[in-house]
């Protein structure tokens, strides 16, 4: 594979994606996180089974068109996949439940996966969340989540403020990240090691690409309800830009946790490690785009955390008020000049009328007679 042309690798990778991903029905970031989990499980199959029993905790999703979907069943079509989440849904393969108290016997599944659900679990409940996944997993866990790095925090805060300014609403999911406390990667890995697991983490979702795409998507949300247009944007990223997204700084990390004696863990880690762009590789121009967006939206990219848009918006409103006052002052001056001009014009008319009256008077007629 190392000598295979990049174009051929990209075409082969695209062929493994669900049709819904290529058509943009699945959001670009959902494709990224489920694709890397599928890669990890594909590498594990020779050491586990060709058909795996998989539990996806927190994996219920809804498309932009309002349809409930189970992405894990799309990305793992040859496996026996059960999806667990808290919303009511009647899709086949779905179970309603709580990830912190799984209603399954020990070792019920070969592998447990979870894609961007950990950050929605309150910090105090995360040990129970992990322990339950460990309990029902016969071999191990593959989990993705955004963890608390300076880049992730800054990117999410920029997006929260942009959505509030552009759409006038709070982004509920991102607000939960903040309210729950974003997970700490070092603490998470240490917890899993203490639980007897072998663990490694890999980057997924280049944070600058994630921020730029999210701003682009919400920019469209504020201006168009055309579902096809939104899906085309997701499809464009998935087909032409997603090959560059497994690199640092990453929006999310993929945690692979396995039992001490499992060979699948080594195979999965080797496969993911080989898919990560090296630090020396030329990165796309996403950082420049993100840097351009920050001052445009009123943020100080040099600070440890971004400013809120409230300050920038207040400054703009003050400037607008100043300009409006200046315009009103000038309008008042113009109105005064117009009143003065009207008064002078009336004075001129009165003078002309007076002169005409004098010319028509008896004295002027007598003077003209005497002059003749």
> What's the mean pLDDT when you consider all of the chain?
85
Cα–chain center distance at 74:
22
pLDDT at residue number 372: 62
pLDDT at residue number 104: 98
pLDDT at residue number 202: 97
pLDDT of 313 > 60? The answer is no
Alpha helices in 137-206 (DSSP H): 150-167, 172-180, 185-194
pLDDT band at 254 (very low <50, low <70, confident <90, very high): very high
Distance CA 262, CA 140 (A): 9
Nearest CA among 56, 190, 36, 192 for reference residue 111? 56
Task: Name the residue with higher pLDDT: 114 or 219.
Answer: 114
pTM confidence score: 0.75
pLDDT of 5 > 50? The answer is no
Question: Which range, of 30-39, 111-120, 330-339, averages the lowest pLDDT?
Answer: 330-339
Q: Which backbone phi and psi does 352 adopt, to 5 degrees?
A: -65, -40
pLDDT of 155 > 90? The answer is yes
CATH among 3.30.360.10, 3.40.50.150, 3.90.960.10, 3.20.20.70 for 6-149+165-207+220-283: 3.40.50.150
pLDDT 10s digits, 159-190: 999 999 888 888 899 999 999 999 999 999 99
User: CB-based burial of residue 241 (10 Å sphere; 0-12 exposed, 13-18 middle, 19+ buried)?
Assistant: middle
3-state helix, strand, coil in the chain (%, to 5): 55, 15, 30
pLDDT 10s digits, 334-368: 888 888 888 888 888 888 887 777 666 666 666 66
pLDDT at residue number 87: 95
Task: Name the residue with higher pLDDT: 242 or 368.
Answer: 242
Report residue 266 as tokens: 């080594």
* H/E element, 61: strand 61-62
Domain locations in the chain?
6-149+165-207+220-283, 313-371
Task: Name the residue with higher pLDDT: 45 or 311.
Answer: 45
Residues 6 or more apart whose CB falls under 8 angstroms from that of 16 comprise 38
pLDDT at residue number 305: 41
């Amino acid at each position: 594979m190392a000598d295979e042309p990049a174009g051929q690798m990209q075409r082969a990778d695209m062929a493994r994606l669900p049709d819904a991903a290529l058509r943009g029905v699945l959001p670009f970031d959902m494709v990224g996180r489920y694709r890397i989990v599928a890669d990890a499980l594909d590498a594990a199959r020779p050491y586990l089974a060709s058909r795996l029993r998989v539990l996806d905790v927190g994996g219920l999703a809804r498309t932009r068109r309002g349809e409930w979907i189970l992405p894990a069943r799309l990305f793992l079509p040859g496996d026996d996949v059960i999806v667990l989440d808290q919303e009511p849904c009647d899709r086949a393969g779905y179970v309603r439940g709580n990830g912190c108290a799984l209603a399954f016997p020990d070792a019920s599944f070969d592998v447990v996966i979870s894609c961007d659900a950990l950050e929605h679990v309150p910090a105090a409940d995360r040990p129970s969340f992990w322990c339950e996944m460990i309990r029902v997993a016969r071999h191990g866990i593959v989990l993705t989540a955004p963890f608390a790095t300076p880049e992730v925090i800054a990117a999410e805060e920029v997006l929260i403020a942009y959505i509030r300014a552009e759409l006038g609403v709070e982004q509920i999911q991102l607000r939960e990240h903040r309210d729950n406390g974003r997970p700490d990667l070092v603490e998470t890995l240490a917890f899993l090691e203490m639980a007897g697991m072998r663990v490694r983490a890999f980057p997924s979702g280049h944070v600058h690409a994630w921020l730029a795409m999210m701003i682009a998507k919400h920019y469209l949300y504020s201006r168009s309800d055309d579902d096809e247009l939104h899906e085309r944007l997701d499809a464009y990223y998935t087909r032409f830009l997603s090959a560059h997204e497994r690199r640092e700084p990453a929006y999310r990390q993929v945690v692979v946790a396995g039992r001490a004696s499992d060979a699948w863990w080594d195979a999965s880690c080797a496969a993911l490690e080989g898919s990560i762009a090296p630090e020396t590789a030329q990165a796309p121009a996403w950082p420049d785009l993100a840097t351009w967006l920050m001052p445009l939206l009123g943020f100080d990219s040099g600070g440890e955390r971004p400013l809120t848009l409230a300050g920038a918006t207040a400054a703009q409103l003050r400037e607008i008020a100043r300009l409006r006052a200046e315009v009103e002052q000038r309008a008042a001056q113009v109105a005064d000049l117009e009143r003065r001009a009207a008064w002078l014009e009336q004075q001129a008319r009165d003078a002309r009328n007076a002169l005409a009256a004098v010319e028509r008077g008896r004295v002027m007629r007598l003077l003209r007679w005497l002059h003749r």
